[in-house]
Amino acid sequence: MKTTEVLADLKRRFPNEPEYHQAVEEVLSSIEEVYNEHPEFERYNLIERLCVPDRIISFRVSWVDDSGKVRTNMGYRVQHNNAIGPYKGGIRFHASVNLSILKFLAFEQTFKNSLTTLAMGGAKGGSDFSPRGKSDMEIMRFCQAFIAELWRNLGADTDVPAGDIGVGGREVGYMFGYFKKMTREFTGSFTGKGLSFGGSLIRPEATGYGNCYFLQNMLATKGLDIKGKRVAISGSGNVATYTAKKIMELGGKVVSMSDSGGSIIAPDGLTQEQFDYIFELKTYMRGRLYEVPDRFPELEYHEGERPWQLVKCDIAMPSATQNELDGVDADALLANGCFAVSEGANMPSTPSAVHKFIDAKILYAPGKAANAGGVATSGLEMAQNSERLNWSAEEVDHRLSEIMKNIHAACVKYGKQDDGYVNYVRGANIAGFMKVAEAMMAQGIL
């Protein structure tokens, strides 16, 4: 297998899908050497079967807005690979959603889920519907119309969706409700559900907390910890807010947060009062960060800017979206002394930024390792649903931190270089790939 040849072929067959090509290139260039040590992989053409999704379901979603106007959006589910467990992965509602983005996310999810050590295959779905500014009833009608099309392809042992950008507890509740109505069965068919109907404690917190646990493991390899460190975070959604909460609990200083409108900068770290307000504003009031200085004039708001070049930090935790940290941002971070990057979002750093981090030999954890705590806790929610029991917050949190420790250890095992530097990208990709590859080999040509 030659990465350049496989990639050229994928680009020819699936043009205009840059995010998908980007994600595939990153994984293939990491695994090429190991793959080529196994001639049986090539005989089974594992590589093409791993890069091209098992199936893609796409459909039109029609719904009626509050003014009575009939609206249409596109809906998709990319079922990438179910070699090691039922298809599993989030649903994204955002105006930018297209097949390239969902194919990259489903591809990444396959290796991420493998890393969790739990039995979950990889999938992703979503719509170009934007929940921003929509009423609760509009969101509900949209979710119902979306599931009216998709429900036949889902199920607790078939394909289990969850949240992602624009999809949180409210949307999962509406989708699960409609799925239950169509199937007339109450099963663990979605994760991220409300606590009163089968949701798991700590699932909302899990991605952000898990990223902090992964970071703790990385820092420990250098004899460091989070206490007193200046941490730049992007985003202010589910992942970013719980990352900030845990960083502050662990004694770190959160020096930035952002949304798609701009960044809030706190050079000395957010106070608890400031963070609590931002959490309320973004989580419950569905507000915008530009409103923050009205309440706290001492906080700077930078319209239209990302945090990376605005503030000095020791650690960066990009937690908004893909390709939100580019080579110029990476240069600024490195020049300012940043020595660790742990990704909450999926593929937030561009290839140029990733190369700069690795060339500088700083601690750099790719999303598929660092943010795997979210889907891992979804796996724990599925386990609880299957045994019809609810575990305590302490138990789930403990299992989450153990899983993150194990993912870190797997990255070190496969990613440690002769000079002692741990290339977490290589480690995560090889560890994630090997398990899926073995399962695919054992199951024949499918």
CA pair distance 106, 93, nearest whole angstrom: 15
Please say which residue, 109 or 234, places its beta carbon nearer to ligand 2IT: 109
Q: How far is the CB of 236 from ligand NDP (least distance, A)?
A: 4
Q: CA angle at residue 242 from 241 to 244, to 5 degrees?
A: 65
Q: Which residues pair with 87 in a beta bridge?
A: 159
364 secondary structure, DSSP code: E
CA pair distance 254, 396, nearest whole angstrom: 25
Which one of 2-10, 320-328, 382-390, 411-419 is the stretch in contact with ligand NDP (CB under 6 A)? 320-328
Q: Which does 191 bind (CB under 5 to 8 A by kind): ligand 2IT, ligand NDP, none?
A: ligand 2IT
Q: Which does 140 bind (CB under 5 to 8 A by kind): ligand 2IT, ligand NDP, none?
A: none
3 touches ligand NDP by CB under 6 A:
no
Please say which residue, 311 or 376, places its beta carbon nearer to ligand NDP: 376
Q: Which of residues 329-358 bind ligand NDP (CB under 6 A)?
A: 344-346
320 touches ligand NDP by CB under 6 A:
yes
CB–CB of 373/214 below 8 Å?
yes
Q: Which of 325, 287, 290, 321 is nearest to 304 (CA)?
A: 290
Terminal CA-CA length for the chain: 20
Query: Closest-CB residue for ligand 2IT?
Result: 90
Among this protein's residues, is 124 annotated catalytic?
yes
Which one of 34-42, 125-133, 358-366, 371-379 is the stretch in contact with ligand 2IT (CB under 6 A)? 371-379
Q: How far is the CB of 443 from ligand NDP (least distance, A)?
A: 27
Q: In what order do the strands lie in the sheet with 122-127?
A: 55-64, 70-81, 122-127, 87-93, 159-162
Q: Which residues contact 40 (CB under 8 A, 6 or more apart)?
A: 441
CA pair distance 417, 395, nearest whole angstrom: 35
Q: How far is the CB of 230 from ligand 2IT (least distance, A)?
A: 27
Please say which residue, 138 or 440, places its beta carbon nearer to ligand NDP: 138
Q: How far is the CB of 415 from ligand NDP (least distance, A)?
A: 20
CA pair distance 345, 70, nearest whole angstrom: 33
Q: Which of residues 184-203 bind ligand 2IT (CB under 6 A)?
A: 191
Q: Which does 436 bind (CB under 5 to 8 A by kind): ligand NDP, ligand 2IT, none?
A: none
CB–CB of 81/122 below 8 Å?
yes
Task: Choose the catalytic residue: 88, 112, 124, 229.
Answer: 124
126 touches ligand 2IT by CB under 6 A:
no
Q: Which of residues 334-353 bind ligand 2IT (CB under 6 A)?
A: 346
Phi, psi of 163 (to 5 degrees): -90, 170
- Amino acid residing at 322: Q
Which one of 75-83, 84-92, 140-148, 308-316 is the stretch in contact with ligand 2IT (CB under 6 A)? 84-92
CA pair distance 377, 202, nearest whole angstrom: 8
Structure tokens at 214: 């992964």
Q: How many residues does the chain have?
A: 446
422 secondary structure, DSSP code: B
CA pair distance 80, 202, nearest whole angstrom: 27
Longest Cα–Cα distance of the chain, Å, equals 65
Question: Considering CB under 6 A, how many residues would be counted as binding ligand NDP?
Answer: 26
CA pair distance 121, 100, nearest whole angstrom: 19
Q: How far is the CB of 418 from ligand NDP (least distance, A)?
A: 32
321 touches ligand 2IT by CB under 6 A:
no
Among 75, 85, 86, 90, binds ligand 2IT (CB under 6 A): 90
Q: Which of residues 225-254 bind ligand NDP (CB under 6 A)?
A: 235-240
Please say which residue, 260 or 271, places its beta carbon nearer to ligand NDP: 260
Q: How far is the CB of 304 from ligand NDP (least distance, A)?
A: 10
Beta strands 340-342 and 363-365: pairing type?
Answer: parallel
Q: Which does 200 bind (CB under 5 to 8 A by kind): ligand 2IT, ligand NDP, none?
A: none
Active site residues per annotation = 124
Q: Enumerate binding residues for ligand NDP (CB under 6 A).
A: 94, 96, 163-166, 168, 207, 235-240, 259-261, 319-321, 324, 344-346, 371, 374
- Give me the residues that bind ligand 2IT (CB under 6 A), please: 88-90, 109, 112, 162, 164, 191, 346, 374-375, 378
